[in-house]
């Protein structure tokens, strides 16, 4: 049977479809952003997101197949993000994938969004040498901050997670405090280039403490207090730039400290992949690359388009699972909460 996989991503605010060959060649990839739909609200509105997925996905999938030069009959499987994520979007994506699987008589694969990020490092051509298990995943997004050992497909060991806010959430909320437009992360990074990273001695929660957990709420509160001290008027740009640079420096220090602790706990890993929207931040990439080089590790930072939500990683996770004979029944549910560590239990059932 063919090993070509169609991947569908609809877990949050981007509708995406991609077609991958068994060897990892990207035959097509399409992403429809909803930024303009959510910008007036300063964040993702779940109902708006679900309706946008419903309107766009059928044509997007057809176009992905057309660009790949294949039809549903040529596919080995159809994979879709089944969680974690916003339930409305997950229902749209998995419902479409299941319907297409029934019509085409092809297997359906329910993809864990976090596993898709974790396995991206193994996509051929992404790095000079495809990493071998085990390796580390540092997942940095608006909903997740995790340090995970990737032992194999479906096999994960979490070393640490956030105790409060996710790092992407901290970026977005800080950007909003500084009067920056949505999405806040890229805007804050751009503003930080104009500022002095040493202007404000912001806190670095859990720095130099054991373990690999993260905490960002105290840092976010410190920024809020700085902004509030300036009154209700818009912050002068030089002042906002200094706050942005100081915030970004604090986050970078925290991430480097946590990753160093992970190396101490698992010296056997030879590579680290950073994934999620915050992994697109250049300052963070540079600092972590320096740390990895000093430790004799390889940092794998996917291209920017593969850091944020995309269907290439979903299709690749589908290829990996199809190779391992791991497909799912059409009754497989969506899971708005779906920890990586649950995957091993799911495989046994």
pLDDT of residue 348: 47
pTM summary value: 0.92
CA nearest neighbour of 45 among 17, 12, 15: 12
264 with 224, same domain: the answer is: yes
Give the burial string for 139-163 (b: 16+ CB within 10 Å, else e): bbbbbbbbbbbbeebbebeebbbbe
Ligand-binding annotation for 189, yes or no, is yes
Residues 6+ apart with CB under 8 A from 286: none
Ligand-binding annotation for 24, yes or no, is no
247 with 316, same domain: the answer is: no
pLDDT for 178 beyond 80: yes
Residues 6+ apart with CB under 8 A from 118: 137, 139, 148, 150, 156, 273, 275, 340
pLDDT of residue 304: 85
For the stretch 81-136, pLDDT in tens is 999 999 999 999 999 999 999 999 999 999 999 999 999 989 998 877 778 899 99
Beta bridge partners of 157: 149
pLDDT for 68 beyond 60: yes
pLDDT of residue 1: 62
pLDDT over 90 percentage in the chain:
81
Residue 144 lies in a domain: yes
Ligand-binding annotation for 268, yes or no, is no
16 with 155, same domain: the answer is: no
228 with 313, same domain: the answer is: no
Ligand-binding annotation for 140, yes or no, is yes
313 with 296, same domain: the answer is: no
Residue 127 lies in a domain: no
265 with 205, same domain: the answer is: yes
**DSSP H helical ranges for 193-281:** 217-228, 237-265
Tokens representing 349 are 């059932």
Residue where a domain terminates, one of 265, 281, 301: 301
Residue 343 lies in a domain: yes
pLDDT tier for residue 349 given thresholds of 50, 70 and 90 = very low
CA nearest neighbour of 4 among 55, 77, 65: 77
209 with 182, same domain: the answer is: yes
Residue 40 lies in a domain: yes
Q: How many domains does the chain have?
A: 2
Q: Which helix (H) or strand (E) holds 298?
A: strand 298-300
pLDDT for 16 beyond 90: yes
Residue 335 lies in a domain: yes
* CATH number reported for the structural domain that contains residue 44 in this entry: 3.30.420.40
What does the mean pLDDT of the chain come to?
A: 93
279 with 146, same domain: the answer is: yes
Q: Which helix (H) or strand (E) holds 300?
A: strand 298-300
146 with 293, same domain: the answer is: yes
Tell me what the mean pLDDT of segment 69-79 comes to. 97
DSSP string, 33-87: E-HHHHGGGTS--HHHHHHHHHHHHHHHHHHHHHHHT--GGG-SEEEEEEESS-H
Tell me the C-alpha distance between 216 and 214, whole Å. Answer: 7
167 with 289, same domain: the answer is: yes
pLDDT of residue 141: 86
Residue 53 lies in a domain: yes
Torsion of CA 213, 218, 220, 223, to 10 degrees: -140
Ligand-binding annotation for 157, yes or no, is no
Residue where a domain terminates, one of 267, 285, 301: 301
Ligand-binding annotation for 142, yes or no, is yes
**DSSP H helical ranges for 69-209:** 87-104, 113-119, 167-177, 184-192
114 with 186, same domain: the answer is: no
Ligand-binding annotation for 112, yes or no, is no
pLDDT tier for residue 265 given thresholds of 50, 70 and 90 = very high
Q: Which helix (H) or strand (E) holds 317?
A: helix 311-323
Task: Please answer whether residues 94 and 111 qualify as being in contact, where contact means their C-beta atoms are separated by less than 8 angstroms.
Answer: no
Task: Please answer whether residues 174 and 184 qualify as being in contact, where contact means their C-beta atoms are separated by less than 8 angstroms.
Answer: yes
Strand arrangement of the beta sheet that strand 298-300 belongs to: 155-161, 145-152, 135-140, 271-275, 298-300
Domain carrying residue 163 = 132-301
Tell me the C-alpha distance between 36 and 346, whole Å. Answer: 37
96 with 206, same domain: the answer is: no
The count of C-alpha atoms lying within 13 angstroms of the C-alpha of 71, restricted to the half-sphere facing its C-beta, is 4
Residue 124 lies in a domain: no
Ligand-binding annotation for 270, yes or no, is no
């Amino acid at each position: 049977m063919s090993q070509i996989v169609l991947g569908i991503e609809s877990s949050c605010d981007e509708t995406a479809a991609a077609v991958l060959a068994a060897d990892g060649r990207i035959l097509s990839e399409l992403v429809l952003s909803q930024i303009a739909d959510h910008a007036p609200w300063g964040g993702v509105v779940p109902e708006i997101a679900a309706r946008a997925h419903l309107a766009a996905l059928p044509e997007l999938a057809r176009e992905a197949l057309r660009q790949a030069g294949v039809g549903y009959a040529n596919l080995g499987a159809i994979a879709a993000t089944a969680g974690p994520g916003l339930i409305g979007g997950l229902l749209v994506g998995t419902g479409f994938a299941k319907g297409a699987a029934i019509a085409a008589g092809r297997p359906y694969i329910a993809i864990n969004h976090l596993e898709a990020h974790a396995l991206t490092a193994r996509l051929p051509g992404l790095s000079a040498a495809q990493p071998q298990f085990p390796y580390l995943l540092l997942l940095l997004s608006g909903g997740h901050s995790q340090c995970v050992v990737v032992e194999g497909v479906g096999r994960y060991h979490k070393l640490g997670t956030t105790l409060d806010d996710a790092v992407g959430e901290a970026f977005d909320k800080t950007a909003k405090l500084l009067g920056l437009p949505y999405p806040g992360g890229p805007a804050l990074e751009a503003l930080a280039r104009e500022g002095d990273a040493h202007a404000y001695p912001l806190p670095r929660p859990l720095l130099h403490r054991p373990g690999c957990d993260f905490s960002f709420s105290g840092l976010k509160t410190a920024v809020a207090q700085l902004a509030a001290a300036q009154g209700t008027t818009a912050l002068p740009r030089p002042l906002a730039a200094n706050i942005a640079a100081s915030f970004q420096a604090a986050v970078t220090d925290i991430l480097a400290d946590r990753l160093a602790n992970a190396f101490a706990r698992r010296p056997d890993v030879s590579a680290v992949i950073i994934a999620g929207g915050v992994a697109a931040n250049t300052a963070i990439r540079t600092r972590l690359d320096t740390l990895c080089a000093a430790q004799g590790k390889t940092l794998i930072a996917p291209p920017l388009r593969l850091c944020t939500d995309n269907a290439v990683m979903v299709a690749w996770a589908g290829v990996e699972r199809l190779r391992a004979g791991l497909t799912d029944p059409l009754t497989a549910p969506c899971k708005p909460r779906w920890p990586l560590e649950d995957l091993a239990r799911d495989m046994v059932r």
